[in-house]
Structure 1
Amino acid sequence: MDRPTFSGQMPTMVSFLESPTAEQHSIFDDVQGLLVGTLLVAISVQFLQAADLFTGQIAGLSLVGAKALGMSFGALFFVLNLPFYVIALVRMGLIFTLKTFAAVGLLTGWSFLLPQVMTFADLHVVFAALAAGVTAGAGLIVLFRHNATLGGVGIVAVWLQDSYGIKAGWVQLGFDVLVFALSVSFFPINAVIYSLLGAAIVNIMIATNHRRDRYIAH
């Protein structure tokens, strides 16, 4: 009996690792992703507010506005995001828009809940900046991988990366420059410097970890 022949090369463990199979997220996957992602970002906001710091993006603009106007962060964050939903719907589709709307709503809810159960008796400002940057960066990466953002500039950043290959982290960093320039009028210079450190961590994490060629399921 003739021995069977094979065309091409035998598959190896490396080839299996290098060629993953795309798999869609289930509804459960997306729900837990939105819950975890928004909770991480909400924890980041608690670090920032406790240390009298802020961040970039619409969240940062909301923190600056909340301090300047004496308004609630959650309410201002929700309102500032509303115009960006039109861009999300036109450029990214209905599912992305609905997920983003849900994520913004969840973050707003977390921002009202966490101060009731989470306080800091002693928090070093440098650690607050670092911890805020890491938790926000991780939370945003989770949301991006579940085809959602926290609205605002994140919508534009994800669209530009997916459509034109412009890294979302760098787009967001560009907007952050404007937020930090505005913040100088309302925050001490030391707070601006420490806040910039946290924002840089967020955007570096996104730029180096949110890549469609590495993570293909959505």
Structure 2
Amino acid sequence: MDLIKKLSFVLMGLILTSLGIKILSDHHLTFGGTAGISTIFSFLSPLSWGTLFFIVNLPFFLISIRELGKWFTISSLLSITGISLLREWFDQIIPALELNMLFASILSGLLIGIGVTFVLNNGSSLGGIHILGLYIDMKYRINRGIVLFVCDSMIILLALALVGWLSALFSILCIFIASNIIGRYKKSPIKEMDQENTINSHA
């Protein structure tokens, strides 16, 4: 029952995050982390965002499998696959939204922040910078929200040439909101998850 509850929260998190990223894309805003890198590449490549997001995240799983455990890595890989597919699906079924830029950045920040928190707090991640943030949080006790904000802001600065100053500022507002939610409501599910799987493997 506990596993079903965790999976339900992860799925809810993936849906909310996918919606937030779609709102960003519809308003020519971007995000940090591998989502932001994928957005930048999507401007320069014929490949879809979902495909690029999956490819960009693959190198980070080397860190995950070595430092965070195989079960966490498998769960994160499934989440990456899930959000890539959901993002592609939403583009097919939901028309492009036209919202005020300020409202779009706030709404997307809330959706992504809540969504990522659900995913991270239930034994999974969305790869990339989130894996790095969890690792640094566990090893050096530096709040993962701070790690995400710093890394994401650096990526936004690199995207200035493509999205412009105004879009970059609204994108940073989105990142600030999402990072605050993720940092404020963080839990550390990795050790618990690995302990549960170790117990189950010896049962």
* Same fold at TM > 0.5: yes
String of CA shifts for 1:22-50, please: whole Å, max 9, x gaps.
xxx73212321221111111000111011
- Is residue 132 of structure 2 the alignment partner of residue 156 of structure 1? yes
CA distance in 1, matches of 2:46, 2:24: 16
String of CA shifts for 1:142-180, please: whole Å, max 9, x gaps.
011111110001101011112321100111112112211
CA distance in 2, matches of 1:179, 1:123: 24
Q: Hey, what does 2:180 align to over in structure 1? A: 204
Q: Hey, what does 1:32 align to over in structure 2? A: 8
CA distance in 2, matches of 1:212, 1:97: 15
CA distance in 1, matches of 2:97, 2:51: 26
Q: Hey, what does 2:73 align to over in structure 1? A: 97
For residue 127 of structure 2, give the secondary structure of its aligned residue in structure 1: coil
Distance apart, 1:118 and its partner CA: 1.4
CA distance in 1, matches of 2:14, 2:107: 15
TM-score (norm 2): 0.89
Q: Hey, what does 1:193 align to over in structure 2? A: 169
Determine if contact 1:68/1:186 at 8 Å carries over to the other structure. Answer: no
Q: Hey, what does 2:107 align to over in structure 1? A: 131
CA distance in 2, matches of 1:160, 1:28: 28
Determine if contact 1:55/1:198 at 8 Å carries over to the other structure. Answer: yes
TM-score (norm 1): 0.83
Mapping of residues 11-160 of structure 1, within 5 Å: 26-160=2-136
CA distance in 2, matches of 1:121, 1:159: 36
**Change in 2 beyond 3 A, CA 1:121/1:206:** closer
Determine if contact 2:27/2:98 at 8 Å carries over to the other structure. Answer: no
Determine if contact 2:16/2:114 at 8 Å carries over to the other structure. Answer: yes
For residue 187 of structure 1, give the secondary structure of its aligned residue in structure 2: helix
Moved more, 181-190 or 102-111: 181-190
CA distance in 1, matches of 2:142, 2:93: 39
Aligned length: 192
- Is residue 150 of structure 2 the alignment partner of residue 174 of structure 1? yes
Bigger proportion of residues as helix: 2
Identify unmatched segments of 5+ residues in structure 2. Answer: 194-203
CA distance in 2, matches of 1:105, 1:34: 13
Q: Rg larger in 1 or in 2? A: 1
